[in-house]
């Protein structure tokens, strides 16, 4: 009994020690990674705002231009940096991101940055310790006049190669984004935003209720306040609020609401979107059938059944081992 008690205590001590070591390693990596490398945009003469740290450019129709980005390795190890130009999109959390290689725009007739790139969108750098290099990307502005802005960014992902050990190891990745905003040479009148809700939405999914809003214009909406409420008759049964959100130009915003266990019946979804320069409201009817309601219950029931089967198997195996050991003795 004492041996078993000693073994349990020793195991707990090792687990706790391991967690502490892992935590310290993560903190150490984070401290080192914060200053591993830097990126700096070399701003051209057609830069709108000379104080900005990103490309904010006024472009001429059909003209080519090469963008330069300086990447500097501040570490004492070799740095591998992958640079890629991506289009802006709206994440499910209502934030403009640039980390997706492929983005599906709302309107394909509108220009997007990735289609304007001449040559490759991706480059890979091997930087020696304490060195820097220039990354160059060439784009060609749309031949036809566009209204609004074209939004994208240069995403850089760096990995530090540690050669101090026999087998080189790669530390956690560090990501930076340098924004690219293209303005037409001749500014048109103020663009009025146009946000719509996709057909066949809202709809019920396994995770709850799902909406899809679409920004039809080449304009960045920010900040956005969004209110979503679910009514059954005249009674409000669910509500959720989103503050300080963004909607990228010509992009979709998929919103997942964790509203599960809704009973069959007729509902109405009310959506109110508000920004400093734009307001929009939607009302959509939603019918939940018995089959949709039973999907969540079916998954839960199946999970319970599988758990019970596993438990029975474990009990039977342990009983068999115990009886076999007893008969042997």
In the prediction, which pLDDT does 45 show? 97
Count Cβ atoms within 10 A of the Cβ of residue 85 and give its class: 0-12 exposed, 13-18 middle, 19 or more buried. Answer: buried
> Given the structure tokens 């719509």, which residue do they identify?
196
Residue 74 burial by Cβ neighbours in a 10 Å radius (0-12, 13-18, 19+): middle
Contacts of 107 (CB under 8 A, 6+ apart): 216, 250
Residues 26, 5 contacting (CB under 8 angstroms): no
Q: Which of 21-30, 124-133, 194-203, 238-247 has the lowest mean pLDDT?
A: 21-30
Residue 161: pLDDT above 80?
no
Residues 6+ away with beta carbon under 8 Å from 265: 232, 287, 288
Q: What is the DSSP letter of 327?
A: H
| Contacts with 162 (C-beta within 8 Å, 6 or more apart), sequence order | 77, 168, 169, 170, 171
What was the pLDDT predicted at 72? Answer: 96
Q: How far is CA 196 from CA 220, 240, 280, in A?
A: 15, 19, 8
Q: How far apart are CA 43 and CA 97, in angstroms?
A: 22
Least confident of 47-51, 62-66, 144-148, 288-292: 288-292
C-alpha span between 87 and 179 (Å, rounded)? 10
The answer on pLDDT for 299 being more than 90 is no
Strand ranges, E, within 141-173? 150-162, 169-170
- Tell me the average pLDDT of the chain: 84
Contact assessment for residue 243 and residue 218, using Cβ atoms and an 8 Å cutoff: no
Locate 145 and state its tokens: 């006049």
Give the model's pLDDT for residue 205. Answer: 84
User: Are the C-beta atoms of residues 224 and 247 closer than 8 Å to each other?
Assistant: yes
Domains and CATH numbers, the chain: 29-184 (2.60.40.10), 195-290 (2.60.40.10)
The per-residue DSSP string of 163-207 comes to -SSSS-EEPPPEEEEEEEEEEESS--SPPPP-EEE-TT-SEEETT
**In degrees rounded to 5, what are phi and psi of residue 7?**
-65, -40
- The rounded distance, in Å, linking the Cα atoms of 147 and 312 is 66
Q: pLDDT by residue (tens digit) across 222-258?
A: 999 999 999 999 999 999 999 999 999 999 999 999 9
> pLDDT digits over 49-107, tens only?
999 999 999 999 999 999 999 999 998 889 999 999 999 999 999 999 999 999 999 99
- Range with lowest mean pLDDT among 129-133, 293-297, 313-317: 293-297
- What is the C-alpha radius of gyration for the chain, rounded to an integer number of angstroms? 28
| CA nearest neighbour of 248 among 90, 110, 107 | 90
Instruction: Check residue 191 and give its pLDDT.
Output: 86
């Amino acid at each position: 009994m004492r041996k078993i008690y000693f073994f349990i205590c020793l195991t707990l001590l090792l687990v706790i020690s391991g967690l502490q070591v892992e935590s310290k390693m993560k903190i150490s990596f984070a401290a080192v990674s914060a200053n591993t490398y830097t990126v700096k945009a070399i701003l051209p003469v057609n830069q709108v705002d000379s104080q900005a740290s990103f490309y904010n450019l006024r472009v001429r129709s059909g003209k080519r231009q090469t963008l330069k980005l300086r990447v500097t390795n501040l570490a004492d190890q070799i740095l591998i940096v992958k640079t890629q130009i991506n289009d802006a999109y709206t994440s499910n959390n209502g934030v403009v991101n640039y980390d997706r290689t492929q983005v599906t725009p709302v309107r394909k007739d509108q220009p997007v940055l990735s289609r304007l790139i001449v040559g490759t969108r991706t480059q890979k750098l091997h930087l020696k310790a304490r060195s820097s290099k220039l990354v160059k990307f060439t784009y060609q502005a749309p031949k036809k006049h566009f209204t609004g802005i074209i939004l994208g960014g240069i995403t850089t992902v760096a990995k530090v190669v540690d050669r101090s050990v026999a087998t080189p190891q790669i530390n956690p990745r560090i990501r930076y984004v340098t924004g690219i905003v293209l303005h037409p040479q001749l500014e048109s009148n103020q663009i009025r935003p146009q946000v719509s809700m996709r057909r066949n939405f809202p709809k019920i999914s396994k995770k709850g209720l799902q909406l899809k809003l679409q920004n039809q214009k080449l304009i960045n909406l920010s900040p956005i306040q969004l209110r979503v409420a679910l009514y059954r008759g005249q009674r409000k049964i669910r509500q959720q609020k989103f503050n300080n959100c963004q909607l990228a130009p010509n992009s979709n915003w998929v919103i997942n609401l964790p509203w599960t266990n809704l009973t069959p019946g007729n509902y109405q979804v009310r959506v109110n979107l508000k920004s400093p320069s734009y307001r929009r409201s939607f009302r959509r009817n939603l019918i939940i059938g018995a089959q949709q309601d039973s999907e969540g219950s079916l998954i839960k029931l199946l999970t319970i059944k599988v758990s019970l089967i596993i438990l029975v198997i474990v009990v039977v195996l342990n009983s068999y081992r115990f009886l076999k050991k007893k008969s042997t003795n």
